[in-house]
Chains A and B, each alone.
Chain A
Amino acid sequence: MKLSARHGRGAFVPRTIEALYQAMERALDAEHSAASSGLLQRLDARVKVSGLFALILATALATRLWVIAAIFALAALLAALSRISIRLLASRVWIPALAFTGAIAVPALFLTPGDGLYRVPGLNWTVTAQGLTTAGYLLLRVETAATLALLLVVTTPWMQVLKALRVFRIPVVFVAILGMTSRYILLLLETAHEMFESRKSRSVGALHGAERRQMAVASAGVLLSRTFQLSGDVYLAMQARGFRGEVYLLDDFAMKRLDWLALAGFAALAAAAVWAGR
């Protein structure tokens, strides 16, 4: 048996849980960046949801590269005015989007018919001008849309984003269930994370494949049982405070002058982008 405090290469389940837990925590816990006093942080969540969504729509509709590039520049400007660091944007959006979209866009360079620009030595593959444009559109669209989406997530607590979905006339029960689901997924991931940490603290060396599988199955069973118990208790706690099957929520957003100005600005920019990008 190897003496190691680490999980070993095959510890797929704990590592997946850990990664999911951290991703969920990042997504749900935008409180720090959302609490700073940047431009977007000062806006009503509904304005951000509708304004940034309009810009994403304009990005998707635009058929001119310079228009998409202009929206990208606007997104970068909004990030700077909202004190979102370039490093965060690069690590969370730009590099991952470049890697994943790039893998999809590269074949387009060679497969799209058109005027040859460059022949790859030894492979007889030709990069075409039309292929380069297609790949450029795809990459820039994805980078721009993902940057706008990230701006929303890091400048607005996740629960406020969900509540703001009410502007799109999404039923209140759906918004409430979505909020509770994300909250309890985090709780269950926390529980799973603690279970694996606890096991790690009591074990020495790596487990064999069969033992790891056995542990994963046992953990899944415990989690399932806790899920049932938790959902039952949450339902009782709701009942105890008068819940009778219909959810009532307060829509306590308050639009200020800055919000109206920002909404008008977003609408004007999105409309201009759609018009210019026809």
Chain B
Amino acid sequence: MMLFETTHLTYRYDRLTAIEDLSISIAEGSRVALVGANGSGKSTLLRILDGLYFGQQGTVRFRGEELSEDRFGDDEFAFSFRRQVGLVFQNPEVQLFSPTVFDEVAFGPLQLRWPKSEVRKRVGETLERFGIAHLKDRVPHRLSGGEQKRVALASVLVLNPAVLLLDEPTAALDPRSQSQVIDLLVEWGGGAKSVITATHHLGDLADIADRCLVLDGGRVVAEGPPAEILRDAELLERTNLVHAHRHRHRSGELHSHPHVHSGEAEPGD
């Protein structure tokens, strides 16, 4: 049985189609990257997989069970799903709304009705694990970007979800914070967890995914292992994941080739 399965899924924002006739399958325990430029439909797809948005056409199944608004009306199903699937939003501003870092990390477990003693214990452990125990009494939105991202990750991973959905986990972070976040994810994903990451940072792909789905205009235009996708210069250029870098050689000849900014080997080189 597949972890997620979408069949002819379409999602529109008024007149804008974000996801179009999408049929994909994601297996249990896999690490998948949804790769695409801005506006390709990655974030929308993650929200659909998390049962926050529901497509106008087609179906989405989670471990064989259809995700629909009606289904989420049932408390038992909703709690069971939320215990299994966690989503880290791209913008920590929307996810950090509690008075203190401790309260922020405790929010999820409390809503899922964990006993308070268990909440205190697990939150304390999670803060230690993420190296943010010293921030526990701070106001989350007063932290640096890297610290905010770690708090956002901790606030979801405290639930120990079997499936983790990540929306641009390293966006707007300095290189050191990016590396810390990737290390945390690699360490967390070491067990039999499923991780689905939306990203356009090609440099992170090899670390966070075994399989890539390249999205463009709400459709999957290619899929394969990261190395294979990164080798396809024409695909990356067509989907706006790289841009042409032009320079003039001493001979006067104008030369152009695809150019990537994330530190990975340049495709086509």
Contact = CB atoms under 8 A, between A and B. Distances in A.
A209 interface: no
A163 B139 CA distance: 13
Contacts of B116: 250
B142 to A, nearest CB: 7
Contact of B142 (A31, A184, A249): A31
Interface in A193-245: 230, 233-234, 236-244
Interface stretch (A106-114, A136-144, A154-162): A154-162
A241 B108 contact: yes
B265 interface: no
A270 to B, nearest CB: 27
Interface in B116-171: 116, 119-120, 137-139, 141-142, 155-156, 159
A29 B94 contact: no
Interface of A is mostly: helix
B139 A162 contact: no
Nearest to B138: A31
B89 A250 contact: no
B251 interface: no
Contacts of B87: 240
Contacts, number: 89
Given A240-B86, A241-B156, A250 B111 contact: no
Nearest to B119: A250
Given A234-B94, A234-B97, A240-B86, A249 B111 contact: no
B125 to A, nearest CB: 15
A243 B111 contact: yes
Most buried by A among B82, B99, B100, B106: B99
Interface in A29-60: 29, 31
Nearest to B50: A240
Given A183-B141, A240-B52, A242-B112, A250 B106 contact: yes
B95 to A, nearest CB: 5
A232 to B, nearest CB: 9
12 contacts: A179-B97, A179-B98, A183-B97, A186-B141, A236-B52, A237-B94, A237-B97, A238-B107, A242-B83, A250-B102, A250-B106, A250-B120
